[in-house]
Amino acid sequence: MSHYIPPTHEHDIDPVDGRMALVQGQPTFHEITEAVAKPIDSPPKAWWIFFLVSVSMLGLFGLSVAYLLWEGVGIWGNNIPVGWGWPIVNFVFWVGIGHAGTLISAVLFLFRQKWRTSINRASEAMTIFAVICALMFPTIHVGRVWVIYWPLPLPNQMQMWPNFRSPLLWDVFAVSTYFTVSLLFWYVGLIPDIATMRDRAKTAIRRFAYGVFALGWRGSARHWVNYEAAYLLLAAMATPLVLSVHSIVSFDFAVSQLPGWHTTIFPPYFVAGAIFSGFGMVLTLMIPLRKWFHLEHIIGIKHLENMAKVILLTGTLVGYAYGMEFFIAWYSGNPYETFVFANRALGDYAWAYWIMVSCNVITPQFIWFKKIRRSPAALFILSIFVNIGMWFERFVIVATSLHHDFLPSSWAYFSPTMWDWATMLGSFGLFFTLFCLFVRFLPIIAVAEVKAVMPQANPHYHPPGHEDPDLTSSASGTVQSRDDHAAVKTAVTSGEESSKVVVSKASEPDDEDEDEDDEDEPDTKDEPIVADEPEPEAKAAPEPEPEAKAEDAKQEAAADDDDDAADEPEDKPLFSKDPADKPLFSKDPADKPLFSPPSAKKDDKADDGDDEGKED
């Protein structure tokens, strides 16, 4: 869409193809609000089904934890030599899942990856819920849940302090800090959107509930300054944090002196695996969600594709780590290390090992194919395999390293009990219940952030129609240069219309030279600008500049309008939405249906009312 790209913002070009707009179909700000808020007002049926299934699984979790407290850890399959059975497998699995959210929020924020805005809210929520699930497992694994506060450095009658030299204690600090910071990050991002929900709430209860959590947010520019500083700093702090957390989780293993665990590659290997599994889970959640909640235009194919690429990268890193472990086992000449790895691939748990390798190393390789990584259905299936594979990775690490220890007489084969299964399935119930509640009551898209990356959010982005000298002069060099560059007309039009028109105008260069350049060399650096603007153009092109505007406009503006009209036939093939022209500009066939129907739109365009019909 209309992505008007001022020259100073060249780096904002989309990382994937540098052309497609982040939000498709040129919605207005209001339409974004409505698209996100609608499922909250009336959830789809699928939600109820999903919620009931999740809650019953949560019940299973409650049951198994209650029985665990009653009976003790003996109900699980953990026993010497495999003292860390499924609880720790599940812990590491969930912590890994919990990494994508902050990665998307913080790391991509720092790298100015604007596509994050569509998915960051839901993946942050996923992070928080996954970390809650993760924290459950060590908590119930200690056996005496009621003294779980002991790892905290609180003054106590024992005059004891935690052992700060233990990686398990680092874990307590790392995971709880991670949880707290993720929660704060998530909540800070939510405040403006909760205010949006508050302001459109119909019932008193909703107004009160959203009102409390919106903290009286009133979008003040003075507040935004502090808000953005805080958000940036949170991102800056969460980035090293997210890397530290899974490194520390890997220290739980790597710092012990057990062949198969005692490896320096563990921290990066775990971090890559965590991002891999986290993005896998994000895809698993987002692909159905965008469909059920009709958010395909906000969470576009491009977003899925970008995530798929991250999965490909991290999956390959994980595959490299698998290979390197074997190399080191051989190269070290350490017989114990060699044995553990031979045992891993060929021993009792070979089945688990090969499930892990096929899911984690082979599955992502399909993403090399563009068709696959742009197909939501294919990605959904791949993401399920990623989830399975990463669970097995944790299982392989825990079980194969422990079940054959140094004393052959104590060798054993770990197998889970019914309660292991119940607790694991139950943790999925906890996760999905929380997630269901989240999508039911909170905006799953960061509304304010999505609006901010839309082209019309740029204060130097002006509707076509007439030039406003005041504006041009006042708005510093940026405007000037932009005008030079893209030959944008500025005009103050009114209402949503303006945003529409704006777009068109920006692209609709009155300077014929520019246009011609584009036409001649569609692949030059200018292309993004042109390519971004097909729809708007399509809309704008047929639009006769409204009389009212023309009146307001200065003389030159009027002249420009005339020019535009004159240019129209030329421009049309360039920007038109007509199917025939498509190949030229439309990069993404999949997105096509999302665009507003071209011809009807065009006609509407002239009227003010055109916006209403368009998105929904």
Partner 1 sequence: MPKRPKMYGLLAEYETPAALYKACERVRDAGYGAWDAHTPFPVHGLEKAMGIGPSLVPWIVCVLGFSGAALGFGLQYWTSVIEYPLIISGKPFNSYPAFVPVTFELGILLGSFGAVFGMFGLNRLPTLYHSLFNSKRFARFSDDRFFISIEARDPKYDPDKTRKLLESTGAVAVEEVED
Partner 2 sequence: MPQIFPRWTNNIPIAAGLLAPIIGIGLIFAVWYWFSPKYTDVGYRPKQPVPYSHKLHAGDMGIDCRYCHNTVEQAAHAAIPPTATCMNCHKQVKTTSARLQMVRDSYDTGEPIPWVRVHQLPDYAFFNHSAHVAAGVGCASCHGRVDKMVVVEMDQPLSMGWCLDCHRNPEPNLRPLDQVTNMNWDVTKEEYDPKRDPERKRQVNPPTHCSGCHR
Residues that bind partner 2 (CB under 8 A): 149, 154-160, 198-199, 207-208, 211, 216
Q: Is 451 in the site for partner 1 (CB under 8 A)?
A: yes
Beta carbon of residue 159, minimum distance to partner 2 (angstroms, whole number): 4
Nearer to partner 1, 34 or 519 (CB): 34
- Which partner, partner 1, partner 2, none, binds residue 351 by CB below 5 to 8 Å per kind? none
Q: Is 163 in the site for partner 1 (CB under 8 A)?
A: yes
Q: Which is nearer to partner 2, 52 or 154 (CB)?
A: 154
Backbone Cα Rg of the chain: 28
How many alpha carbons lie under 13 Å from residue 201 in its C-beta half-sphere?
A: 21
298: closest CA among 113, 33, 23? 23
The torsion of the CA quartet 86, 88, 94, 98, rounded to 10 degrees, works out to -170
Q: According to the binding rule CB under 8 A, does residue 199 interact with partner 1?
A: yes
Q: Which residue has the tokens 């240019």?
A: 567
Quote the CA–CA distance of 350 and 107 in Å, as a whole number.
36
Query: Residue 586: left if φ>0, alpha if ψ -120 to 50, beta else—which one?
Result: beta
How many other β-carbons are positioned within 10 Å of the β-carbon of residue 262?
A: 17
Cα–Cα dist 277/273, whole Å: 6
Told to check if 110 binds partner 1 by CB under 8 A, we report no
Structure tokens at 360: 């984690």
Please check whether residue 423 is in contact with residue 87, taking contact to mean a CB–CB distance below 8 angstroms: yes
- Provide, rounded to whole angstroms, the least separation between the CB of residue 504 and partner 1: 14
For residues 209 to 248, the per-residue mask of contacts with partner 1, x marking binding by CB under 8 A and - elsewhere, is --xx--xxxxxxxxxxxxxxxx--xx--xx-xx--x---x
Give me the DSSP letters along 401-461.
HHHS-S-GGG-------HHHHHHHHHHHHHHHHHHHHHHHHS-SS-HHHHHHTSGGGSTT-
Residue recorded with tokens 């023309």: 550
Q: Residue 382 corresponds to which amino acid?
A: L
The reply to whether 501 sits near partner 1 by the rule CB under 8 A is: no
Q: Which is nearer to partner 2, 195 or 307 (CB)?
A: 195
Out of partner 1, partner 2, none, which partner does residue 463 contact, by CB within 5 to 8 A per kind? partner 1
Residues in contact with partner 1, shown as a per-residue x/- string from 310 to 339 under the rule CB under 8 A: ------------------------------
The option from partner 1, partner 2, none interacting with 548 (CB < 5 to 8 A, set by class) reads none
Token reading at 97: 């899942």
Considering only 129-137, 411-419, 424-432, 463-471, which stretch makes contact with partner 1 by CB under 8 A?
463-471
Choose the contact partner of 157 out of partner 1, partner 2, none; CB within 5 to 8 A by kind: partner 2
CB nearer to partner 1: give 34 or 526. 34
How far apart, in Å, are the Cα atoms of 34 and each of 120, 201, 294, 295, 564? Answer: 19, 12, 11, 11, 33
Distance spanning both ends of the chain, measured CA to CA: 17
Minimal distance, residue 148 CB to partner 2, in Å? 13
How is residue 22 annotated by DSSP?
A: S
Q: By CB under 8 A, what part of segment 24-53 binds partner 1?
A: 28-30, 33
Residue placing its CB nearer to partner 2 in the complex, 156 or 599: 156
Specify the stretch interacting with partner 1 by CB under 8 A; choose among 138-146, 346-354, 448-456, 596-604.
Answer: 448-456
Please select the residue that binds partner 1; options are 456, 507, 586, 596, rule is CB under 8 A.
456
Of residues 255 and 584, the one with the C-beta less far from partner 1: 255
472 CB-contact burial (10 Å; exposed 0-12 / middle 13-18 / buried 19+): middle
CB of 512 to partner 1, least distance (A): 25
